[in-house]
C-alpha cells in the first residue's frame, strides 16, 4: 500500500536548515494498522504530511498503491493533529465536506446522517466547532475522514483531546470501522497503550535527525484485552525502548 525509500526532508527555519530526517524506509501493507511513536519533533507529522502528498521530500521515493505520491489524493485521507474542522461550517457540513468535494454528496446524503450517528453527534448537526468540546470535534473530524472511504487513512494524534474513557471507546470505534472498511491506517500517537492496543506494528522514531529506530510487531489476537499479561508484556517492551533507547543498537529497520 505504501512504500517509502531513502526519504529525506529538510526545512529552512529563519535561514537555518533543519534536517528532519535523512533516510527513512518504510513499507505498510494493505489493511495494516501501523503506529508512529517517538519524541516531540522527531518528524512524525512531517512523515504523515509527506505520505499525504501535502509536502514534497528533498529526495527519496514514496509510492502508494504502486503510484508515486506527488500531490494529495482523496484515496489518502488525513486527520490533522489539531482536529482542524472548518470553523465556518457546521458539523453536518464538515462531515459532508469530502463527499461534496468528490461530487457524490447528492446521492449519499443518508451517509452523512449515518456517520453523525456513528460518532455520537446526533443533535449537534447545526453546531459549530467552537460550540463543542475537543472530543466532539475530534469525533467529527474522524467521521469526516472515514466518510469518503479512503484506502489509506493518516491520523495525526486523532484522539489527543479526549478524556481517557472516551479515548478507549474511540479506539474501539476506529478499529471496528477499520475492520469493516479494510482501511490501511498510519497513526501518530504519544500513548504507548494506544499504540499496542491498536497496531499491527509500532514504529519507534528518534529525533535529530529523525529516524526509525525500531519496529515492534504486535502479534496479539484481536479483539485485544488491555489487561491481559501478553498486552502488558508488549507495553512494557515498548516503554523500555522509549525510555532506555539510548542503549539500543542503531540499526536501519525496514518494514
Ligand X SMILES: Nc1ncnc2c1ncn2[C@@H]1O[C@H](COP(=O)(O)OP(=O)(O)OP(=O)(O)O)[C@@H](O)[C@H]1O
Q: Which residue is nearest to Mg ion (CB)?
A: 45
Q: Closest distance between ligand X and the C-beta of residue 5, in Å?
A: 19
Q: Is 245 helix (H, G, I), strand (E, B) or coil?
A: helix
Q: Which stretch binds Mg ion (CB under 5 A): 45-53, 66-74, 83-91, 192-200?
A: 45-53
Which CB atom, from 116 or from 204, has the smaller least distance to Mg ion?
204
Nearest approach, Cβ of residue 191 and Mg ion (Å): 13
Provide the minimum distance between the beta carbon of 81 and Mg ion in the complex, in angstroms, as a whole number.
5
List alpha helices for the chain, DSSP H: 44-52, 91-102, 109-118, 134-146, 164-181, 192-198, 229-243
- The partner in contact with residue 101, picked from ligand X, Mg ion, none with C-beta cut-offs of 5 to 8 angstroms by kind, is none
Of 45, 138, 171, 184, the residue at the interface with Mg ion (CB under 5 A) is 45
236, 193 in Cβ contact below 8 A? no
Closer to ligand X by CB, 98 or 210: give it.
210
Residue pair 95/143 in contact (Cβ under 8 Å)? The answer is yes
Q: Which residues bind ligand X (CB under 6 A)?
A: 11, 13, 18, 20, 40-46, 81
Residue-wise DSSP of 21-58: EEEEEEEE-TT-EEEEEESTTSSHHHHHHHHHTSS--S
- Closest to Mg ion by CB, 95 vs 185, is 185
Of 64 and 203, the one with the shorter C-beta distance to ligand X is 203
Q: How far apart are CB 18 and ligand X at their closest, in Å?
A: 5
Look at residue 148 and give its three-state secondary structure.
Answer: coil
Residue 96 or 205 having the CB closest to ligand X: 205
The continuous run of DSSP H or E covering 32 comes out as none
**Residue 46, interface with Mg ion (CB under 5 A)?**
no
Closest contact distance (angstroms) between CB of 42 and ligand X is: 4
Q: Which of residues 213-232 bind Mg ion (CB under 5 A)?
A: none
C-alpha–C-alpha distance, residues 47 and 55, integer Å = 9
13 binds, among Mg ion, ligand X, none (CB under 5 to 8 A by kind): ligand X
Q: What is the spatial order of strands in the sheet that 67-68 belongs to?
A: 16-28, 2-13, 59-64, 67-68
User: Quick one: 71 exposed, middle or buried, by C-beta within 10 A (0-12, 13-18, 19+)?
Assistant: exposed
Amino acid at each position: 500500500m505504501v512504500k517509502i525509500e531513502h526519504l529525506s526532508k529538510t526545512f529552512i527555519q529563519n535561514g537555518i536548515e533543519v534536517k528532519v530526517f535523512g533516510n527513512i524506509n518504510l513499507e505498510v501493507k494493505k489493511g495494516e494498522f501501523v503506529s508512529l511513536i517517538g519524541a516531540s519533533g522527531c518528524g512524525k507529522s512531517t512523515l504523515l504530511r509527506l505520505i499525504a502528498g501535502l509536502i514534497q521530500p528533498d529526495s527519496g521515493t514514496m509510492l502508494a498503491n504502486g503510484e508515486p505520491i506527488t500531490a494529495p489524493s482523496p484515496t489518502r485521507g488525513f486527520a490533522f493533529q489539531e482536529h482542524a474542522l472548518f470553523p465556518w461550517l457546521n458539523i453536518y457540513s464538515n462531515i459532508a465536506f469530502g463527499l461534496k468535494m468528490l461530487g457524490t454528496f447528492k446521492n449519499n446524503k443518508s451517509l452523512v446522517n449515518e456517520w453523525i450517528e456513528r460518532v455520537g453527534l446526533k443533535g449537534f448537526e447545526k453546531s459549530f466547532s467552537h460550540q463543542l468540546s475537543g472530543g466532539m470535534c475530534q469525533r467529527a473530524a474522524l467521521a469526516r475522514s472515514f466518510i469518503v472511504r479512503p484506502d489509506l487513512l493518516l491520523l495525526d494524534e486523532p484522539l489527543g483531546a479526549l478524556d481517557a474513557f472516551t479515548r478507549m471507546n474511540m479506539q474501539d470505534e476506529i478499529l471496528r470501522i477499520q475492520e469493516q472498511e479494510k482501511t490501511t491506517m498510519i497513526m501518530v500517537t504519544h500513548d504507548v497503550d494506544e499504540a499496542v492496543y491498536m497496531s499491527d506494528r509500532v514504529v519507534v522514531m528518534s529525533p535529530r535527525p529523525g529516524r526509525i529506530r525500531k519496529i515492534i510487531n504486535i502479534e496479539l489476537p484481536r479483539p485485544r484485552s488491555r489487561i491481559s499479561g501478553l498486552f502488558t508484556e508488549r507495553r512494557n517492551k515498548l516503554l523500555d525502548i522509549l525510555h532506555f533507547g539510548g542503549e539500543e543498537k542503531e540499526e536501519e529497520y525496514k518494514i
